[in-house]
Chains A and B, each alone.
Chain A
Amino acid sequence: MFQIFTDFATWLVYERLSLSSSTKLGDALHFFVEDVSKIFVLLLVLIYFVAILRASLDVGRVRDYLAGKHRGTGYFLGSCFGAITPFCSCSSIPVFLGFTSAGIPLGITMAFLITSPLINEVAVLLLVSLLGWKFTLVYIVVGMAVGIAGGAFLDHIKGERWLADFAADALRDGQQHQTDGIRHPSGTQHMSLSKRHAFAKDETLNIFKRVWFWVILGVGLGAALHGFVPDGWIASHLGAGQWWTVPVAVLVGIPLYSNATGVIPVMESLITNGLPVGTALAFCMSTVAVSFPEFILLKQVMKWPLLCILLLMLLTAFILVGWVFNVVFPLVS
């Protein structure tokens, strides 16, 4: 099914541009053209269909649904919704406050917020097309597990005592009023097909506008790695035997601010060049889920202790994920 993109790249790079497949430049350019064309086509087609299905889901309904749920199921559901809800990091604060003032416990809100940037339809799509089903499944399970465990942990240590004062007040008010049955009217359950189409068209264009540059950048970096880093260099220098590569990968990922769209092609290239799966996974998750701009935003609603705990918790989680997968993945695949 994806062969057509390989053929297209071969035609363009080797025939039209008459570059040789044995040169570094030809090899890197082939990789670049193949991946960019594949990703662009898949993005446009699949975002549209996912958006059609998802048209009637919005954060308001997610919040109404999560409010009043039992904690155990709450973490799981929060994380699930995080995975399927479209999400832009500039909305994270309003969402945080919206959930909080509806009386939803901090842990469930955080399960949603941690999972959301890690897993979304674009990320899943890229993973399937670049790294296959098995890896995608692993990625989803791990991403959700980090969100669920993180949320449960923050509630366990009573993280809400370190919320900014106005947010803490909102949470208290919300929990008192939760039993009053105050809910937003959500009467838009039924959507006509033409409305769904309009929504899906807008959504596809919006997402595409937001991510096309990341795709080019990510695949470009991946292609450079692919063409210019000598074969075997990564495997011998950063291989599974070197335990310290995982924490280093996670730390390097913090200042790098990217979304999943940009980092997944880089991850593919790293893995095919011999970087152990766990190390690649840890790097990817750290780049996507932990970033300075995000934390500066969160500082508005959290006090320092909570922010530091959150950061340390995520870093620890990603390092553990990396180590476990470096050990386990070679055994099962």
Chain B
Amino acid sequence: MKHVKVLGTGCSGCKTTLRLIRQVADERGVAVQLEKVESLPEIMKYKVMSTPAVLIDDIVVHAGGIPSRDIIESWL
């Protein structure tokens, strides 16, 4: 199972990203463990400077802006 983390301090883009990933995963029947990271020291550890950022199995795959559907599908 893939472990997906969305990093962000709670702006609307982060929430949309989270929802979108959940939606795509459900549609395609992919099991994911989805987690939202809001703690700043935690976010800093990943050296991400634009949020929302997305991590798959602790690797940064996306930073800044809401990812498109196609891109999300390619991750899952």
The reply to whether the CB of A90 lies closer than 8 angstroms to some CB of chain B is: yes
Shortest distance in angstroms between B16's beta carbon and chain A's nearest beta carbon?
12
Interface of A is mostly: helix
Chain B minimum-CB-distance residue to A63: B49
Residues of chain A contacted by B8 (CB below 8 angstroms)? 90
A206 with B65: CB separation less than 8 A? yes
Interface of B is mostly: loop
Contact status of A300 and B65, CB under 8 A, knowing A90-B9, A90-B13: no
When the two chains form the complex, which single residue of B12, B41, B50 contacts A91, counting CB atoms closer than 8 Å?
B50
Chain B minimum-CB-distance residue to A97: B44
Residues of chain A contacted by B44 (CB below 8 angstroms)? 97-98, 101, 166, 170
Residues of chain B contacted by A59 (CB below 8 angstroms)? 49-50
The reply to whether the CB of B11 lies closer than 8 angstroms to some CB of chain A is: yes
Give Cα distance in the complex from A170 to B47, angstroms. Answer: 11
The reply to whether the CB of A94 lies closer than 8 angstroms to some CB of chain B is: yes
The reply to whether the CB of A301 lies closer than 8 angstroms to some CB of chain B is: yes
B9 with A97: CB separation less than 8 A? no
Shortest distance in angstroms between A174's beta carbon and chain B's nearest beta carbon?
11
Q: How large is the interface on A (under 10, 10 to 19, 20 to 34, 35 or more residues)?
A: 20 to 34
A91 with B47: CB separation less than 8 A? no
B47 with A184: CB separation less than 8 A? yes
The reply to whether the CB of A93 lies closer than 8 angstroms to some CB of chain B is: yes
Most chain B CB neighbours (cut-off 10 Å) among A63, A91, A95, A297: A91
Residues of chain A contacted by B40 (CB below 8 angstroms)? 93, 97, 166, 300-301
A97 with B64: CB separation less than 8 A? no
Give Cα distance in the complex from A202 to B43, angstroms. Answer: 26
Give Cα distance in the complex from A97 to B40, angstroms. Answer: 9
* 10 further A-B pairs in the complex, CB-CB below 8 A; given A88-B11, A166-B44: A59-B49, A90-B11, A90-B13, A90-B51, A91-B50, A94-B48, A97-B40, A97-B43, A101-B44, A202-B65
